[in-house]
Amino acid sequence: MTVTQGTLRILHLGDLFFHRTLDVRASLTRLLDDLCGPEPGLGLEGIDLIVACGDFSWQADPVDLAACCRFFQDLTSALDLDMSDCLLVPGNHDVDWSYRVYDHWPISKDLIDETPTDLRYIDGKTLFILKQEDYPRRFGNFAEHLYKPLIGRSYPLEPSKQYQLFHHKPGNVCLLGLNSCERIDRFYNRRAGLNPLALADALRAARHENASLRIACWHHPVSGKDGLENESTVEQLISAGFRLFLHGHVHGDRRQDFLRNVGQTWFIGAGCFNRALIRGQVRVRLYNLIEWDADKDQVQVHQRIFNIFEDRWLPWK
């Protein structure tokens, strides 16, 4: 599909939390009704890109990820897109916590002294020591049961290789996907950050991309309580010409957590697409349709909120 009327349209989803009991067909129908239906729908004739910012299921369970696969297959088919028009990055819920990546030992001073701080966790009288060779396997289910069936190639488990950079020719945009969860596990669930080696390689490769717009995405917000530990790395991306930063993970109802722009740089959060109840708290359900007018170099973000009483998506006013 070519970009129509000089405007690039990006469907921006996050925190999809697919589950085997969730009605994939209903979720898809409501989204398509909103995108393509008459007012209060967006009345679009098409979408150019889909960016999905992680948390595809609740626990990276293969059966739940299969439900998410069906959703994306049907979505791309309905919008006449193929998976080369999609960018998927993992979230903290795409880390398989059931995969044991720590050995545990009775606590001892010698063991503590000889184990680097970021490779250990202490719980009462037990010392957990990270198994470095097994650690990347936490993304095995995401790689095998979601990424490969959809994208058609393997997702690299080696953290320094976890970047996807591609040039979307119809829109003349450069897209970069990174993993902000490579140091997150069941003990350290707030250790968000970007791998410096992956980032350096991605920036090197991006230099050769002659694009009108550069977009970067990962799961976590740049700042705030769940923000990146190495927030300053984002400056490198801005210096390299990246202007749109898309993320997921935020679930509150404060608009500034979802949308912020500083000059020509935009930070856009997708909210929670499917799940209204998280850890006993009711959350707003949101997604974004982002339009970039290439001729005017303008960005417009349509934030869509799910109204449970009308059982449909509406503009977030």
Output 176 or 192, the one with its CB closest to Fe ion.
Answer: 192
* Residue nearest Fe ion, Cβ-based: 249
Closest CB 220 distance from Fe ion, rounded Å: 7
At residue 259, the 3 state secondary structure works out as strand
- Region for residue 311 given its phi and psi (left: phi exceeds 0; alpha: psi -120 to 50; beta: otherwise): left
Return the sign of the alpha-carbon dihedral for residues 238, 244, 248, 254.
positive
Cβ of 200: how many Cβ atoms within 10 Å? Answer: 14
Closest CB 91 distance from Fe ion, rounded Å: 4
Chain mean position to CA 291: 18
Q: Please measure the distance between the N-terminal and C-terminal CA atoms of the chain and give it in whole angstroms.
A: 31
Output 58 or 99, the one with its CB closest to Fe ion.
Answer: 58
Output 146 or 203, the one with its CB closest to Fe ion.
Answer: 146
- Region for residue 15 given its phi and psi (left: phi exceeds 0; alpha: psi -120 to 50; beta: otherwise): left
Output 55 or 182, the one with its CB closest to Fe ion.
Answer: 55
Closest CB 251 distance from Fe ion, rounded Å: 8
Closest CB 152 distance from Fe ion, rounded Å: 25
Output 279 or 317, the one with its CB closest to Fe ion.
Answer: 279
Total number of residues shown for the chain: 317
Output 127 or 216, the one with its CB closest to Fe ion.
Answer: 216
Answer whether 300's CB lies under 8 Å from 26's CB: no
Closest CB 226 distance from Fe ion, rounded Å: 8
Element (H, E) at 290: strand 286-293
Return the sign of the alpha-carbon dihedral for residues 19, 25, 31, 35.
positive
- Region for residue 271 given its phi and psi (left: phi exceeds 0; alpha: psi -120 to 50; beta: otherwise): left
DSSP state of 155: P
Closest CB 59 distance from Fe ion, rounded Å: 12
Closest CB 270 distance from Fe ion, rounded Å: 11
Output 214 or 249, the one with its CB closest to Fe ion.
Answer: 249
CA distance 167 to 183: 28
- What residues line the site for Fe ion (CB under 5 A)? 55, 91-92, 249
